[in-house]
Amino acid sequence: MSQHLYHNPVKVVSSSLFGTASEALYARIQKIKRKDVECQAFFRKVLKSSLFQVLMISTITSNAFFMVLGTDYSIRYKLFRLFEISEILFVSIYACEFFMKVYVEPIKYWRDGYNLLDVVIILIILIPYTLRKIKGRHYKFLHIADGIQSLRILKLISYSRGIRTLIIAVGQTVYTVASVLTLLFVLMYIFAILGFCLFGMPDKGDLNNWGNLAAAFFTLFSLATVDGWTDLQEQLDQRKFTVSRTFTIIFILLASFIFLNMFVGVMIMHTEDSIKKFQRELMVERHMTLIEEKQLILRRQQDEVNRLMNTQKSGGKSFPELVEEFKKTLRHTDPMVLDDFGTSLPFIDVYFSTLDNQDTTINKLQELYYEIVNVLCLMLEDLPPRKKSSHSSEFMI
């Protein structure tokens, strides 16, 4: 006991020392500055470009199509040379992709699970060539090495975010699904022993389906999937087992309607969570892309204004003339960044509501003006007529 207590701290210290040493080594490697930064940036841009991704997806799809054609021996015999050339082309493209990724990220490359999957696929591709060189063309397990070449299509996973999302959802359900399957196994274990004792009697029992524990498990699996359960029940009815229908109904209700549906429900819930997370990531990426484009436009506009100011200072044209020339170069398709408060949506809503209030006020003022004019007209009509002084003036003359 004392030895055990004495040795435990040593293990903890050694593991912590190993972790500290690995972190220090990684930090030291990170501090190393590469001299080929421009070349690294170029290959990184190539790997992230949509053209390269389309090329890789087309290559993987074409490789899968050629493997399908290769299953027909007549086509394979007629196009033997084409198959050899295409195989060399596909392997070369996969190898170039591997070396480019390792060159861009020599350390982070090995931390990505999908990159490790690509490495495994490349090793699988090399297995048939290695066996032909070592064992010859007539090696008996060579067809197995050729058959596992179908795993090449798994390279599509690293280029499809939707498939990666589903894989993440499946990975998240491992523990829950394992619990459900464990409960299902316990249920099948109980009913297998019970079915063996009830229906596996040597004299008049159903030995084909319930004669031993392995046969009972297989029969219960058929009942759980509700595949041919009526035929199994009919065989039990022919032997006149009175409790067979109760046994079958209870097991189908528990296994098929509860546990299997629970399994499907768990998968659906985790898949929905992964899809929602994927949509949030897409929205964040789009927002970041818009921010980058916005900063690029602002930087370009600032550079253009600085250029105009420098031209004015150097004794050229006046600033209004430069602005007029700059306006002539603008097009209606040029993007603009509007960060002013007056271009925000809340301000526009408030402004529209203010305009509506102004229109209402103007309408009321017009109605008041009309009423005032009407009152003035009535007052003019009620006034007495003026006396004409023309006759008096004539008499005076």
Q: Are residues 49 and 191 in the same domain?
A: no
What is the spatial distance between Cα 64 and Cα 291, in angstroms, rounded to a whole number? 40
- Residue of higher predicted confidence among 35 and 191: 191
Q: Are residues 184 and 318 in the same domain?
A: yes
Q: Are residues 146 and 198 in the same domain?
A: no
Last residue of some domain: 159, 188, 203? 159
pLDDT band at 100 (very low <50, low <70, confident <90, very high): very high
List the alpha helices (DSSP H) in the chain: 2-31, 37-48, 50-69, 73-78, 80-104, 113-134, 142-147, 161-172, 174-199, 207-210, 213-224, 229-238, 244-254, 261-313, 319-329, 345-382, 390-396
Whether 249 is covered by a domain: the verdict is: yes
Whether 202 is covered by a domain: the verdict is: yes
Domain of 125: which CATH number? Answer: 1.20.120.350
Q: Are residues 184 and 101 in the same domain?
A: no
Name every residue whose Cβ is closer than 8 Å to that of residue 165 and which is 6 or more positions away in sequence: 274, 275, 277, 278
Q: Are residues 222 and 174 in the same domain?
A: yes
Q: Which of 181-190, 256-265, 335-344 has the lowest mean pLDDT?
A: 335-344
Nearest residue to 241 (alpha-carbon basis) of 211, 206, 286: 206
Q: Are residues 139 and 198 in the same domain?
A: no
Q: Are residues 260 and 131 in the same domain?
A: no
Tokens (6 digits) for 93: 């493209």
Q: What is the pLDDT of residue 323?
A: 66
pLDDT at 84 over 80: yes
Whether 333 is covered by a domain: the verdict is: no
Q: Are 210 and 201 in contact (CB under 8 A)?
A: no
Burial of 170 (0-12, 13-18, 19+ CB in 10 A): middle
Q: What is the pLDDT of residue 165?
A: 78
Domain of 217: which CATH number? Answer: 1.10.287.70
Cα 177 to chain center, whole Å?
A: 23
Digit-coded pLDDT (tens) for 258-292? 888 888 888 888 778 878 887 888 888 888 888 88
Q: Are residues 116 and 183 in the same domain?
A: no
Whether 139 is covered by a domain: the verdict is: yes
What is the spatial distance between Cα 216 and Cα 195, in angstroms, rounded to a whole number? 7
Centre a 10 Å sphere on the Cβ of residue 351 and count the other Cβ atoms it contains: 11
Q: Are residues 213 and 317 in the same domain?
A: yes
Which domain, by its residues, includes 199?
170-324
Q: What is the pLDDT of residue 275?
A: 80
pLDDT band at 343 (very low <50, low <70, confident <90, very high): low
Whether 245 is covered by a domain: the verdict is: yes
Digit-coded pLDDT (tens) for 156-169? 888 887 788 778 77
Whether 79 is covered by a domain: the verdict is: yes
Last residue of some domain: 139, 159, 179? 159
Q: Are residues 42 and 154 in the same domain?
A: yes
pLDDT at 12 over 60: no
Last residue of some domain: 281, 305, 324? 324
Q: Are residues 126 and 205 in the same domain?
A: no
Helix 319-329 / helix 261-313 crossing angle, nearest 10 deg = 140
Digit-coded pLDDT (tens) for 291-309? 888 788 778 777 777 776 7
Whether 384 is covered by a domain: the verdict is: no
**What pTM value is reported for the model?**
0.57
pLDDT band at 5 (very low <50, low <70, confident <90, very high): very low
The rounded mean pLDDT for the chain is: 80
- Residue of higher predicted confidence among 193 and 316: 193
Cα 1 to chain center, whole Å?
A: 53
Q: Are residues 195 and 270 in the same domain?
A: yes
Centre a 10 Å sphere on the Cβ of residue 344 and count the other Cβ atoms it contains: 12
pLDDT band at 11 (very low <50, low <70, confident <90, very high): very low
pLDDT band at 312 (very low <50, low <70, confident <90, very high): low
- Residue of higher predicted confidence among 363 and 203: 363
**Number of domains the chain is built from:** 2
Whether 193 is covered by a domain: the verdict is: yes
Q: Which of 91-105, 179-193, 220-234, 313-327 has the lowest mean pLDDT?
A: 313-327
- The residue type of 155 is K
Q: Which of 93-97, 135-139, 375-379, 387-391 has the lowest mean pLDDT?
A: 387-391
